[in-house]
A and B are shown apart, each in its own frame.
Chain A
Amino acid sequence: MTTFPRFCTLLLGLSLLAAAPAQARVFDPETFTLANGMQVVVIANHRVPIVSHMVWYKVGAADEEPGKSGLAHLLEHLMFKGTPSIPPGEFSKIVARNGGRDNAFTTADYTGYYQNVAADRLELVMKMEADRMKNLVLDEANFRTELAVVREERRSRTDSNPAALLYEQMEAALYLNSPYHRPVIGWDSEIAALSLDDALAFYRRWYAPNNAILVIAGDVTAASIRPLAEKYYGTLERADTPPRQRTQEPPAHAERRVTLKDGRVAEPSWTRLYLAPSLGAGKRELAYPLEVLADLVGGGATSRLYRSLVVDKGVAAAADAAYDPTALGETSFRLSVVPRPGVPLDKLEAVIDQELARILKDGFSAEEIERAKSRLKASAAYGRDSLHTGAQTFGEALTCGVSVDEVEAWPERIAAVTPELVAAAAKAVFEPKASVTGLLLPDANAPKDSRSRAPLPSAFTKGVH
């Protein structure tokens, strides 16, 4: 029952897409659609007799009504509260008793549920997942308890973390009209006011086979999946699901700055979000050039920002860029820089802006761009090594309106990116008026908490048991 706040999703998406193999066919899935409109994607991987079974709903926090922030994520939690066949709280226990692991996640654009199980337990989890698509039962008592859990989740992830609080404020400032301006987990005052009826209404409105995608990766074939999918999911009635709205961003006229000073902050940081097109909205043709641009600007130890700020000038400890094109609405292009101890943020920002101005003026050489492209394409070969990469990639893509063919064409799309397109992408996205700069600063006047000096021991990993 995890939220991936949008922040994490952006990083995740980039690395997943960067992990698609370089052959003409990337993951080489088989797909079919049930009579009720539910799309099925099967990615065979026969190395180990395990499967990852995922159901993705085309609904996320951006589909909530204003005033009901947090509802999509709360419903994700409530989906574990049972049906007439499965008592409250039993879903995950049954999966565990069958040697499986399950969880769920919510972002602005989608909600996903998965179970990782031995291949011979697939039918069991399909039956249970199909059951809760239609037959969820909630009562006031378990609703109230779970609402308290979600508010604790918000306290852990956001309210106890100044960097997360700042990022939430930055997104609220970046998106003037898009529902992405709401945090996925919700504003605490609005979470607290959500009702059982809100949750049930949201469930009935969005949870239906025609609004869901089944993704199965592992030791299976489409031929073996089809009869099971028809038996469990194919018998569910389709619903009259409403179209999804992603309101357009108006032209931006004012560059924004957000400063969070907090006594809990020990390490200052500098972050900037630029409004950016995605594969679903805005100048879509710039999405792939923006992926290449993100790699060139801040993709690794030899990228432009890292080399200049961290290695050559020594003003930053870390610098990176992130962009994920997979979104229904316009999205963001993010730069994050951590100053070296003692370097003030205004001095750091001046150097970053110089570097961006240089990129806009001189661009990148054809050789730099070719290297970045071949890196991205070669990294794709690692995609098939993991069972989950393909499943995650198709789930994200299909819930965001990107087709299977488009995912499979990724290497060709990257190959087609030219220096002119990268320059056009940089010009379009590095627009100060459509940006938010976020400063995270210690508050010298705040009462001193006892300040720790300690990291979590990296040895906090479990061994082999």
Chain B
Amino acid sequence: MRRLVLLLALLLASPSAWAVTVEKVVSAKGIEAWLVQDHSNPIIAMEVSFKGGAANDPAPKAGLASMAAALLDEGAGPYDSQTFQQILEDKVISLGFSAARDGFAGHLKTLTENRDLAFDLFRLALAQPRFDKEPVERIRSQLLAGLLRESQDPNAQASRQWFQAAFPSHPYANPPRGSVETVKTIQGADLRAFAKAQLSLDRLVVAVVGDITPEQLAALLDSSFAGLPARSTLPAIPDKSAEPPPGITVLPKGNPQTAALFGSRGILRNDPDWYAAYVMNYILGGGGFSSRLTEEVREKRGLAYSVYSYLMPYAHAGLIIGGVATENSRFSESVRLIKEEFRRMRDDGPTEKELADAKTYLNGSFPLQQESTSAVAGLLVQIQVDRLGIDFLDRRKELIEAVSLEDVKRAARRLLDPDALSIVAVGKPAGL
């Protein structure tokens, strides 16, 4: 029974290294982008991010960045909304924007034959959005409908409550997509002011992957971005240590199951203990069927379909967050087990074998993320946002290999405290 497993263990050499060449392209006007050339398909993907995002929304206008994101491709320059969309559809250009707490992202994907047109539409969307009345009211109705739909979702409900309690008097308390009340108040003038203040060159990072040369890209960087303001006028977001209240908050809901979000203070991305904490979380609750939480809650006892934890390194606050959903009558058993696993990891740390398995997975699986041009471009943007350096892809493996058992134990002692866990439970849990 064990023989095959032993045999398999011998095969665990590290998977073949994945090599892409990341080039830094700097245009004549000084705009920088990271490029991976890939001429195997006639496709170009660009991902960009502006630092800032929903955390800059004034509290009474929460949802402003998200609303602006939904409107930039709804009419720009000489084109009204339907004309702009018709060009995108006819040329099969994928162009859109999205806002998160710390960033405002732009996405572009085009066939090579429509390259110049695609970049020009991207330029117009950033620099000359129209915010015409019809699309503003239409998008508002979509955002309101989306907020109502999300209010039916127990996980979304738990999340909102969790952040509101954890970040008193900090913008992270505000939901990035706002609330029904705040979205109703956003005006065309707010949207125009947002675009002007947020979409500036000092906040921009760019990554491009696909069928394009550095020379072609340099020219397009200037034509696409050089018209944006050089500097943003926005104030900086303050750093903040999260203050999630320990214990359980129950939001009653007539579901047969209780869905919960749990979490506590975590760690920032640039913390020296980051990789130790990252490996620790993989073993605790990040590793799917290889994680302790899944083993104890799902595999041994059938208490949940999904139970997990992850590190959430916001720009100004680090968190460790998790989730679980269990039928109402057995929910308290899941909570007890999760706390017990937090305690066990804090007190004893992982085993040598768990550490070795975690490293093999975290290094071996990394190339699997790179399955399309957009995925690689997204990765390159994140590396720039996190300031990890253009050689990060070459160094990542060693950063993970260097994590020792003592490092993981230290990170566990520092981060995990079962009694500090802040739990928001949505449902009708029994026996709490």
A94 at the interface (CB under 8 A from B): yes
A457–B371 contact, CB under 8 A? Answer: no
Q: Are A96 and B89 CB-contacts (below 8 A) given A264-B255, A458-B100, A459-B176?
A: no
Interface stretch of the complex, out of B120-128, B298-306, B340-348, B413-421: B298-306
Q: Which residues of A contact B301 (CB under 8 A)?
A: 145, 148
B429 at the interface (CB under 8 A from A): no
Within 8 A of A (CB), among B327-374: 327, 357, 360-368, 370-374
A416 at the interface (CB under 8 A from B): no
A227 at the interface (CB under 8 A from B): no
A181 at the interface (CB under 8 A from B): no
Expressed in whole angstroms, the minimum distance between the Cβ of A200 and any Cβ of chain B is 19
B98 at the interface (CB under 8 A from A): yes
Q: Are A381 and B43 CB-contacts (below 8 A) given A96-B290, A454-B179?
A: yes
Tell which of B300, B305, B327, B365 touches A145, judged by Cβ atoms closer than 8 Å: B300
A340 at the interface (CB under 8 A from B): yes
B236 at the interface (CB under 8 A from A): no
Q: Which residues of B contact A100 (CB under 8 A)?
A: 364-365, 368
Q: Are A453 and B147 CB-contacts (below 8 A) given A155-B327, A317-B141, A460-B159?
A: yes
B386–A386 contact, CB under 8 A? Answer: no
B16–A120 contact, CB under 8 A? Answer: yes
B214 at the interface (CB under 8 A from A): no
B89–A87 contact, CB under 8 A? Answer: no
Q: Which residues of B contact A117 (CB under 8 A)?
A: 15, 364, 368
Nearest A residue (CB) for B154: A160
A178 at the interface (CB under 8 A from B): no
Query: Number of B interface residues, CB 8 Å?
Result: 123
B163 at the interface (CB under 8 A from A): yes
Tell which of B152, B252, B303, B368 touches A450, judged by Cβ atoms closer than 8 Å: B252
B11 at the interface (CB under 8 A from A): yes
User: How far does the alpha carbon of A424 sit from the alpha carbon of B225 in the complex, in Å?
Assistant: 49
User: How far does the alpha carbon of A155 sit from the alpha carbon of B254 in the complex, in Å?
Assistant: 12
Q: Which residues of A contact B138 (CB under 8 A)?
A: 310-311, 314, 317
Q: Which residues of A contact B42 (CB under 8 A)?
A: 381
Tell which of B86, B149, B357, B392 touches A97, judged by Cβ atoms closer than 8 Å: B357
A146 at the interface (CB under 8 A from B): yes
Tell which of B144, B253, B374 touches A449, judged by Cβ atoms closer than 8 Å: B253
Tell which of B82, B98, B156, B160 touches A307, judged by Cβ atoms closer than 8 Å: B82
Expressed in whole angstroms, the minimum distance between the Cβ of B336 and any Cβ of chain A is 17
A464 at the interface (CB under 8 A from B): yes
Q: Mark each residue of chain B from 72 to 84: 1 if its CB lies under 8 Å from any CB of chain A, else 0.
A: 0000000001100
Q: Are A455 and B146 CB-contacts (below 8 A) given A85-B4, A381-B42?
A: yes
User: How far does the alpha carbon of A100 sit from the alpha carbon of B154 in the complex, in Å?
Assistant: 31
A177 at the interface (CB under 8 A from B): no
The listed residue with most B CB atoms (<10 A of its CB), out of A153, A266, A314, A318, is: A266
B89–A375 contact, CB under 8 A? Answer: yes
Interface stretch of the complex, out of A26-34, A44-52, A53-61, A235-243: A44-52
Q: Are A159 and B152 CB-contacts (below 8 A) given A116-B368, A145-B301?
A: no
User: How far does the alpha carbon of A49 sit from the alpha carbon of B367 in the complex, in Å?
Assistant: 8
A224 at the interface (CB under 8 A from B): no
B11–A452 contact, CB under 8 A? Answer: no
Nearest B residue (CB) for A379: B92
Expressed in whole angstroms, the minimum distance between the Cβ of A140 and any Cβ of chain B is 13
Expressed in whole angstroms, the minimum distance between the Cβ of B243 and any Cβ of chain A is 17
Interface stretch of the complex, out of B27-35, B185-193, B307-315: B307-315
User: How far does the alpha carbon of A182 sit from the alpha carbon of B386 in the complex, in Å?
Assistant: 48
28 contacts between A and B (CB under 8 A): A48-B367, A50-B371, A89-B289, A90-B5, A93-B290, A96-B357, A96-B361, A117-B364, A148-B301, A148-B302, A156-B257, A156-B325, A159-B255, A266-B148, A314-B141, A375-B90, A378-B91, A378-B111, A382-B43, A385-B374, A386-B372, A388-B371, A453-B181, A454-B151, A458-B99, A459-B102, A461-B100, A464-B382
Listed in ascending order, the chain A residues whose CB lies under 8 Å from chain B are: 47-50, 80, 84-87, 89-90, 92-94, 96-101, 116-121, 124, 144-153, 155-156, 159-163, 263-267, 300-302, 307, 310-311, 314, 317-318, 338-341, 371, 374-375, 378-379, 381-382, 384-388, 446-447, 449-465
Listed in ascending order, the chain B residues whose CB lies under 8 Å from chain A are: 1-5, 8-9, 11-12, 14-16, 18, 38, 40-43, 53-54, 66, 81-82, 85-86, 89-92, 98-102, 109, 111, 134, 137-138, 141-142, 144-157, 159-161, 163, 175-177, 179-181, 251-257, 259, 269, 274-275, 278, 287-290, 295, 298-306, 310-314, 325-327, 357, 360-368, 370-374, 379, 382-383, 385-386, 388, 392, 426-427
Closest 7 CB pairs of A and B: A99-B364, A454-B160, A148-B302, A118-B15, A452-B157, A267-B148, A459-B100
A80-B289, A317-B145, A453-B175 given. 11 additional CB < 8 A pairs? Answer: A87-B2, A148-B302, A264-B253, A266-B149, A338-B149, A381-B92, A382-B109, A452-B157, A454-B150, A454-B159, A463-B269
